Structure 1
Amino acid sequence: MARLEHVNLVGKDIEKSLAFYQAAFPHWSIRAEGEGEWYGKPRRWVHFGDDHQYLAFSDFGEGENRDLTGHSMGLAHIAFAVNNLDAVIKRLNQSGFPIYKSGADSLHRKNIYFLDNDGFEVEFTEYLSDIPSERNS
């Protein structure tokens, strides 16, 4: 068995990153944090999640994130399955994060996309079926 344990995101401001992800996942918390150096540049890092998965943030990012409408290599988006998509949308909107783009129409799931403060596209999906062939269609 394999499962995704964490995703490591390099940004510019951890507090701004946390504002987005705390709104999306109010049950998560900071698991660990510290300071260090990455190839000669000081950095702060934070692990934010639960007992089974987390997002690792570092604050030494330079430049801008890739153009999501372009064809450059890099991360396209990260996606989370949630139990109540409407509640996630409401929390993010109330925290000042507008919907970035709508998801695809499907009988068996609903999804939506947001941008976090560092320009990472984040998809949230609520599955409306427990049948794998329907969920994955």
Structure 2
Amino acid sequence: MYLEHVNLVVADIDAMLHFYRAAFPHWKIRDEGRGEWYGKPRKWLHFGDDYHYLALSDHGEGNNRELAGHSVGFAHFAYVTSNLDAVITRLTSAGYAIAKPGAEEPFRKNIYFVDPAGFEVEFVEYLSDIPAERNLNQDQVRVEEY
């Protein structure tokens, strides 16, 4: 079993495509169309590869939830990469600032960006192929040391 897609309602599909094309240069528009969602017209598209995609719809209104707050809602989603530095270079070169640095961990490095719709996206590179090490965090190390 695997995650096939994430459906994001946004205000500006073109801005989203700019961000995600920088992050995933090998992705393409898989399908697109127009329709109605609960009585409101919308444009939609699927942007991804053969196995995973983002479903984007342009009928969004208002702002996304405050990421630093405690409101119920989507906090972030993450993508694994084999070259985090390349992702950072592509996104910063495209004009996107790092939203927050990742944690200092011995077996992975990560970074967070916020896309044009206000969704926080984590990119992570694992430095070990051992699951116990990949899933370890510094809090666990400190607890286990005592």
Q: By the TM > 0.5 criterion, same fold?
A: yes
Match of 1:31 in 2: 30
Deviation at 1:62, TM superposition (A): 0.4
Residues 1:97 and 2:121 aligned together: no
TM-score by length of 2: 0.92
Deviation at 1:64, TM superposition (A): 0.2
Structure 2, unaligned stretches of length 5 or more? 137-146
Structure ID, larger Rg? 2
Match of 2:107 in 1: 108
Matches within 5 A, 1:1-137: 2-137=1-136
Deviation at 1:129, TM superposition (A): 0.2
Distance 1:118 1:95 in 2: 16
Structure 1, unaligned stretches of length 5 or more? none
Kindly report the root-mean-square deviation, in angstroms, between the aligned alpha carbons of the 2 structures: 0.4
Match of 2:140 in 1: none
Larger proportion of helix: 2
Deviation at 1:71, TM superposition (A): 0.6
The one-letter code of the counterpart of 1:33 is E
Distance 2:67 2:51 in 1: 29
Deviation at 1:43, TM superposition (A): 0.3
TM-score by length of 1: 0.99
Deviation at 1:100, TM superposition (A): 0.3
Distance 1:98 1:71 in 2: 23
SS in 2 for 1:30: strand
Deviation at 1:18, TM superposition (A): 0.4
Distance 1:107 1:69 in 2: 26
Runs of 4+ with deviation above 4 angstroms? none
Distance 1:93 1:107 in 2: 25
Number of aligned pairs? 136
SS in 2 for 1:67: coil
Aligned residues: percent identity?
A: 66
Distance 1:136 1:6 in 2: 23
Deviation at 1:37, TM superposition (A): 0.2
The one-letter code of the counterpart of 1:101 is K
The one-letter code of the counterpart of 2:39 is G
